[in-house]
Structure formats: C-alpha cells, structure tokens
C-alpha cells in the first residue's frame, strides 16, 4: 500500500507525474535527434552503426521494450 503512494522517478530524479504524453514524445524525439547527430558527427560511430547487423539492433530493442509491453498487458 505504501509503495503505491510513492512517486515513480526516472534515473535523474525527475518525477513522471509532472510529464504528460507530449513531454514524453518530445523527449523521445530529442534523444533520436541526438543519436542522429552523434552518427553524423563521429565517423567511427557511423562506421560501427553501418557495419553492425540490423538483427543486433532489433534484439536490443526487444530487450528494452519487454518491460513496457509487460506493463501494458498486465493492466
């Protein structure tokens, strides 16, 4: 019961209750834009991304999306 009343916090301390759907979407877009910037500004990273098989990126995505999918199906 006490655990339900606690605020859910991100790693850097910002509470999720102050963020709406638009804030979460803009945060995701900002992270995607930063990754594209790093790929374009750092040639070694760009080469690694190009040489890495797409299957590895899919596997990492599946690992990261599993907790979210479990929460959705649990409700």
Tens of pLDDT, residues 13-41: 666 667 788 888 898 999 999 999 999 99
For residue 56, the Cα-to-chain-centroid distance in whole angstroms is 16
Q: Quick: pLDDT tens for 36-64.
A: 999 999 999 999 999 999 999 999 999 99
Q: CB–CB of 46/39 below 8 Å? A: yes
- Domain count for the chain, please give it: 1
Q: CB–CB of 46/40 below 8 Å? A: yes
User: Rounded to two decimals, what is the model's pTM?
Assistant: 0.65
Domain that holds residue 16: 2-74
Beta bridge partners of 9: 15
* Vertex 14: Cα angle to 8 and 16 (nearest 5): 45
Which is higher by pLDDT, 44 or 8?
Answer: 44
CA distance 46 to 52: 10
Q: Can you give the pLDDT at residue 1?
A: 47
């Amino acid at each position: 019961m006490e655990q339900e009343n606690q605020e859910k916090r991100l790693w850097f301390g910002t509470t999720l209750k102050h963020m709406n759907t638009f804030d979460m979407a803009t945060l995701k877009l900002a992270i995607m834009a930063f990754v594209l910037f790093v790929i374009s500004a750092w040639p070694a990273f760009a080469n690694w991304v190009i040489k890495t098989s797409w299957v590895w990126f899919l596997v990492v995505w599946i690992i990261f999306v599993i907790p979210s999918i479990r929460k959705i199906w649990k409700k």
